[in-house]
């Protein structure tokens, strides 16, 4: 368990910075900063998603996120229209997270089970 940092060169020779958080129960969250200064999250080494989507799905709104970072203009610079819609509600963010994380097609419908699955993934110990 712990937090680990590393820097690697991508296929273009540009540095990509990664931080890995490994919990006591073995869960793993990797945060990656790409060459455009966007922050991505990989949950259990799966597909990467925007850190903004992840934080929003966990219940933070865009104002709370921006109020708690040192350089909010960096986060605002890579928000597109689709992202702005996601931050309209926690439900939209959970649906987006679920679509990307579970690699499902179609249009999933928000339900409490999706919310519980996200909660279980990040906040409950595995015994």
Determine the structural domain holding residue 61 and report its residue range.
Answer: 2-123
Say if CB 83 and CB 97 are below 8 A apart. Answer: no
* Element of type H or E holding 12: none
pLDDT of 4: 94
CA distances 21 to 27, 33, 116, Å, are: 8, 14, 22
Please state whether beta strands 2-9 and 39-43 pair in parallel, antiparallel, or not at all (unpaired): unpaired
Residue 81's domain is classified under what CATH number?
Answer: 3.90.1110.10
Q: How many domains does the chain have?
A: 1
Between these two residues, 123 and 25, which has the higher pLDDT value? 25
pLDDT of 3: 92
Q: Give yes or no for residue 19 having a pLDDT over 90.
A: yes
Q: What's the CA gap between 39 and 17, in Å, rounded?
A: 10
pLDDT of 89: 75
Query: Per-residue pLDDT tens for 49-92?
Result: 888 888 888 888 888 988 998 888 887 877 766 666 666 677 77
């Amino acid at each position: 368990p712990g937090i680990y940092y590393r820097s690697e060169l991508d296929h273009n020779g540009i540095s990509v910075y990664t931080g890995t958080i490994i919990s006591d129960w073995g869960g793993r969250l990797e945060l990656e900063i790409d060459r455009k200064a966007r922050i991505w999250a990989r949950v259990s080494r799966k597909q990467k998603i925007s850190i903004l989507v992840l934080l929003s799905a966990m219940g933070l709104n865009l104002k709370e996120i921006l109020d708690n970072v040192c350089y909010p203009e960096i986060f605002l610079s890579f928000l597109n229209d689709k992202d702005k819609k996601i931050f309209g509600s926690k439900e939209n963010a959970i649906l987006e997270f679920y679509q990307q994380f579970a690699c499902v097609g179609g249009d999933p419908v928000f339900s409490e089970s999706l919310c519980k699955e996200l909660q279980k993934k990040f906040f409950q110990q595995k015994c």
